[in-house]
Amino acid sequence: MSINDYKGVLVFVEQRFNEIQNVSLELLGKGRKIADELGVDVTAVVPGSDISRHAQLLIEYGADKVMLYDNKALELYTTEPYTQVVVKAITEEKPEVVLFGATSIGRDLAPRVSARLQTGLTADCTSLDISEDRLLMMTRPAFGGNIMATIVSPEHRPQMSTVRPGVMTKMEREPGRKGEVVNAKVALEKNNQFVEVVSFEKEVGTKMDIQEATVLVSGGRGIGSADGFEILDGLAKELNGLVSASRAAVDIGWMPHDRQVGQTGKTVRPNLYIACGISGAIQHVAGMEESDLIIAINKDKDAPIFEIADLGIVGEVQKVLPLVIEEIKKI
Ligand code: FAD
């Protein structure tokens, strides 16, 4: 079989507790653009249980065909059954491009699928483009984020990549968009890697995700201490937002790792990002530069963060923030 026999874009659609994850809609949006450029279709592959209600939503976000693998054994993610499903879908559909979210699920699943199919995988892509000779150009940071590497796979199909949440944009939903829905069947083989989930205990307490926040008040080394973050928390509460941090602040232990923004943290795209005492290193900026409005507060007028900020305040965070909070309270 030749590589020219592979046609189309396939997106692995991730559901958790039967809710479609945003990253999958973002990938459908990107997959749609790639497919339009190549003149091919987008197929969404959805493993899960009781999932038929999602089909139309996926079509409205860009899929031409939705393959539902509805099976009780696929209700929660486990490696082997999901690998079998995705390998089967790819073997039957023969897409030239396959996209996964770089989530804990996608990062576990995609390498296994690529190994079974004997094809390559480019992880954590930040951009995907099509070259003149129809190759997928997969760009990702390399050498500690100091250069961007563009990787192509001229000899293997499919061309596979994972993309971090928040990097791509969803297409505008098209209500009533038409597409094909297939109730796909797969006979799961219970080999020695097959794990059955006996029960799932959800962690008690409400863990908030900075990727879902519309406002982020983010602190760096300039905050000076863990206690110094209280004032950021005060501003975040006033704005119905969350507190995030740079890696320097996380590494010192002032904030937990799940609040870290950047190349080795999370990619965020809030409506408002307030960077407080953050220098604006390339690895930090990579995770927040797509925010709609960026405000930076830094005592150094030459700090690189001011190059990407829409609004900048030169001053000590500890003096500026109380004044900002006071003004907001008046509104
Ligand atoms: P600093 O660079 O120390 O900057 C502190 C800033 O605060 C300075 O600009 C200073 O002028 C200002 N300041 C000091 N006191 C005050 C004050 N009182 N009021 C106002 N301003 C003040 N970094 C990330 O953030 N996220 C990542 O995911 C990430 N991944 C990385 C991956 C790799 C492979 C590598 C090599 C690095 C990574 N980094 C990451 C680290 C990154 O290079 C920077 O070291 C880090 O972002 C610096 O954090 P910072 O801006 O808080 O600290």
Residue 205 has pLDDT above 70, yes or no: no
- Model confidence over 211-248: pLDDT tens digits? 989 999 999 999 999 999 999 999 999 999 999 999 99
The count of other CB atoms within 10 Å of the CB of residue 96 is 23
Question: pLDDT band for position 185 (50/70/90)?
Answer: confident
Beta strands in the chain (DSSP E): 9-12, 15-16, 19-20, 42-48, 65-70, 97-101, 121-125, 127-130, 136-142, 147-151, 159-163, 180-183, 215-219, 242-245, 272-276, 293-298, 311-314
Structure tokens at 258: 């799940």
250 CA distance to ligand 1 middle (Å) = 10
- Model confidence over 260-304: pLDDT tens digits? 999 889 999 999 999 999 999 999 999 999 999 999 999 999 999
Across 133-146, average pLDDT: 88
Report the alpha-carbon distance of residue 306 to residue 296 in Å, rounded: 6
222 CA distance to ligand 1 middle (Å) = 8
ipTM of the complex: 0.99
Cis ω for the linkage preceding 158 (within 30 of 0):
yes
293 CA distance to ligand 1 middle (Å) = 20
Own/partner long-range contacts of 209-213 (Cβ < 8 Å, ≥24 apart): 209/258, 210/242, 210/244, 210/258, 210/259, 210/261, 210/266, 210/268, 211/22, 211/165, 211/166, 211/266, 211/267, 211/268, 213/241, 213/242, 213/244, 213/268, 213/270
Which residue's CA is minimally distant from atom 38 of ligand 1? Answer: 283
The best mutation among 279, 294, 297, 300 to test binding of ligand 1, ranked by most ligand atoms within 8 Å of the C-beta, falls on 279
Report the alpha-carbon distance of residue 235 to residue 324 in Å, rounded: 8
pLDDT of residue 166: 86
Residue 194 has pLDDT above 90, yes or no: no
pLDDT of residue 142: 86
Question: pLDDT band for position 199 (50/70/90)?
Answer: confident
Residue 144 has pLDDT above 90, yes or no: no
Amino acid type, 12: F
Across 10-37, average pLDDT: 97
The count of other CB atoms within 10 Å of the CB of residue 100 is 29
pLDDT of residue 147: 85
298 CA distance to ligand 1 middle (Å) = 11
Could you report how far apart the first and last alpha carbons of the chain are, in Å?
Answer: 67
Which residue's CA is minimally distant from atom 8 of ligand 1? Answer: 279
Which residue's CA is minimally distant from atom 53 of ligand 1? Answer: 221
- Model confidence over 67-93: pLDDT tens digits? 999 999 999 999 999 999 999 999 999
Binding-site residues, ligand 1, Cβ < 6 A: 144-145, 220-222, 246-249, 260-265, 277-279, 281, 283-284, 287, 297-300, 303, 316-318
**Percent of the chain whose pLDDT exceeds 70:** 98
Question: What is the DSSP-derived secondary structure letter of residue 144?
Answer: T
